[in-house]
Each structure stands twice: as C-alpha cells, then as structure tokens.
Amino acid sequence: MRSKDYYAILGVPRNATQEEIKRAYRRLALKYHPDRNPGDREAEEKFKEISEAYEVLSDPEKRAIYDAQGHAGLHQTGFRGFEDVEDIFSAFSNLFEEFFGFGFRERAGRKPRPGADLSYELSLSLEEIYHGKEAEITLEKYERCEECGGSGLARGAQTRYCPVCKGRGHIVHSEGFFRISTTCPHCQGMGTYISDPCPRCRGEGRVWGRKRLRIRIPPGVEEGSVIRISGEGEAGLYGGPAGDLYIKIRTKPHEYFRREGKNLHLSLIIGVVDAILGAETQVRHLSGETISIRIPRGSQPGDRLLIKGKGLPDPQGGEPGDLIVHLEVKLPSRITREQEDLLRRFAELEKEEGPRVKGKKKKTFWNRLFKE
C-alpha cells in the first residue's frame, strides 16, 4: 500500500482543492464503511486505505511532504497510517459527525435520527432571472426506504429489546473489586435489535439514491439569496425526519448587462460625433424586446443615462429596477487630413466662446486630440 498513489486512491487530481478531497473521501467512506459492510474484510482494508490517503492529503503539511518526497518523506516524520479502524473513528469522529450526522460507532439506542441538511448552488443567466424559471436539479442523497417505509424492519418483523443487556446497550461484569461496563456484543450497544431487518436498506430505514426536483425560481430573485425547501434534505435514520434543502442563487456573467440589486447596468461606447451631436441606438433587452437609447447632444465621458423601469423585476412584487447606461466616449486613434482641417477649424470656433469663470487650467479635448 505504501507505493500506491494517494491521489489515485481518492480519485482526485494532484491539484485537487481541499473541498474536492473531502467530497471524494465522504463518498468512498460511505461506500466502504465497516458498519455498511459487516464481516467484509476487503471493504475494511479499503476503508483503511482511503482514510490513510485522506489523513495525508487533508493536512497541508503532510501533503507538501508527500508531494515533494513521497512515502519516504512521510515515513521519516513517523507517519504510519492506520492499523485499526477504531483509530480512524477516533481521529475522524468530528468529520463523520459532519458527513453523516452521526459517527456510526456511537450507538445510543435505536432511536429515529433526523437527516442532514443539504445545500445546492444554482447558477442562472440574467434572462432566466428576469423571467423566472422552473429549474430541474438532480441530487444524490439518502432517501427513505420505500420497502419498509423507513422503519428498517422486514414485513411482519418487530424491534425487540436485547435479552442480553435488557435494553441498556451495555453489560456489567465484575473482576475482583472492579465493576467493568462493556458494550453489549449481542446488540452492539443499541439496546434493541431487529431479528429480521429490511433486505433493501439493511435495517437503516433509508437507501442511497438519486432524485430529481423541480424548483420554481421567482422573477428577479436576488444574487446570493437562499431558497429553503423543507424536507428535501437527506432522509433520517430509522424513520427520523428528513433534513432541509438550501438552494443558493448565483448569477452567470452576461454579455453586456450586469446587475446591482434590481438595477441593470450597461456600458455604451460612442464616438466623438455622437457625443457632440447626439444619437440614438438600440439594444436587445432581457425581456426580448428592443429598446431605444437616446444619447443627448453634448454628452460627456462618464455620463449616465437613466431608463426607468427597465431593470429587473422585484421578487416581492414591488416596482422594477432601472436600467443605467454608462457612456464611454471613444476618441479616434487616426484621422484623415481633411478631418484634421475640419477639427482645427472647429477648435478655433470653440475658442471664441464668451467669458467664463477661471478655474484650474486643464487641457481641453482638442489639446488632447492634437497633442499641442
């Protein structure tokens, strides 16, 4: 095992992020966990293998040593991996609690336990946000076992108190002056047992599956908002209630619009002549209609035009946002001799303006154009 590639063991690339490594380990730990594969020696060894790989790759210091020096470098630090699965449960108890809502080995009776909440990030285009959307998503999660209805019992079977520990989950025996309490070997500390578990879920009351959901996204939904769908998280254990699903909305970049709350922003590049004389142009809106934008005479670089009501809808049903157009005046990089003569003549006419309050002297547009 020492010669194996930890990245290959977890099925991740060498540049994988910590989140990708954690997600890969969760999937494999769920598959090979000893409690899901009782008596399967091969699954237990695989569980040790993936846990050793995760122990190294989830630790930035160990990962750096492994990437630079391989197994030999780790060996020099005293790292030896895991010899016993109980060491894994001890080392990763908090992680298993985060992954599954319980640690598999911490048994406190056969009580229904709630399922974990799930989160999902949904990216939408601005057009989809403008109109609203009925999105379809696919989730891989624990679902209630339909065979037993979540009870974990085969048809006609019942949960019984353990006759060995009398439902306590542990037994006490004496050794000299000492009384020692140990986990009941008959019920593995549950206090109860199922003589005939459901063959489909193996007594858990839930099975791993894939589910498609259709979700209605309201028009104008805000960036970063979270939609909660009750009961669509993971199914609970032993018939416990399901968790909730939280969907976070993300906005995809648009070709030319950008959003700021309910308002839309658009940068419009215009030429010098259009800035001076005014112009009109058309833009295709998110609604699908073509809207006209009138550029006033004498527009300056950085001017903003406000078009009321052409932003995004209000998700609460209030007034829609506005469209804000930002003007960018593009100066010509080259001009013909005839154009230069006309501009110089225009510059002379500009100098014949009447008196003005004198302020800080700065170069005019014509100075910049001719670099005088």
Torsion of CA 84, 42, 3, 19, to 10 degrees: -80
Strand pairing class (178-183; 118-124): unpaired
DSSP three-state, residue 171: strand
Would the annotation count 165 as a binding residue?
yes
- Is 24 labeled as ligand-binding? no
Cα gap 243→293, rounded to integer Å: 50
Q: How many CB atoms lie within 10 A of CB 224?
A: 9
Q: Count H helices and E strands in the chain, helices first.
A: 10, 15
* CA terminus-to-terminus distance, the chain: 76
Q: Are 260 and 226 in contact (CB under 8 A)?
A: no
Three-class HEC string of 71-138: HHHHHHCCCCCCCCHHHHHHHCHHHHHHHHCCCCCCCCCCCCECCCCEEEEEEECHHHHHHCEEEEEE
H or E element in which residue 326 lies: strand 323-330
Place of tokens 């052409």: 310
Q: Is 206 annotated for ligand binding?
A: no
Measuring CA to CA, which residue among 255, 328, 253 is closest to residue 285? 255
| DSSP-assigned beta bridge partners for residue 216 | 134
Instruction: Flag whether 179 is marked binding.
Output: no
Instruction: Please tell me the distance from the alpha carbon of residue 205 to that of residue 91, in angstroms, as a whole number.
Output: 28
90-98, Cβ contacts within 8 angstroms, sequence gap of 24 or more:
91/51, 91/55, 92/51, 92/54, 96/29
Residue with tokens 């679902």: 143
Tokens of 188: 């593995």
Q: Does 145 carry a binding-site annotation?
A: yes
184 is in an annotated binding site: yes
198 is in an annotated binding site: yes
For residue 301, the one-letter residue type is P
Known binding residue 162? Answer is yes
Binding-site annotation, residues: 145, 148, 162, 165, 184, 187, 198, 201
Binding-site annotation, residues for Zn(2+): 145, 148, 162, 165, 184, 187, 198, 201
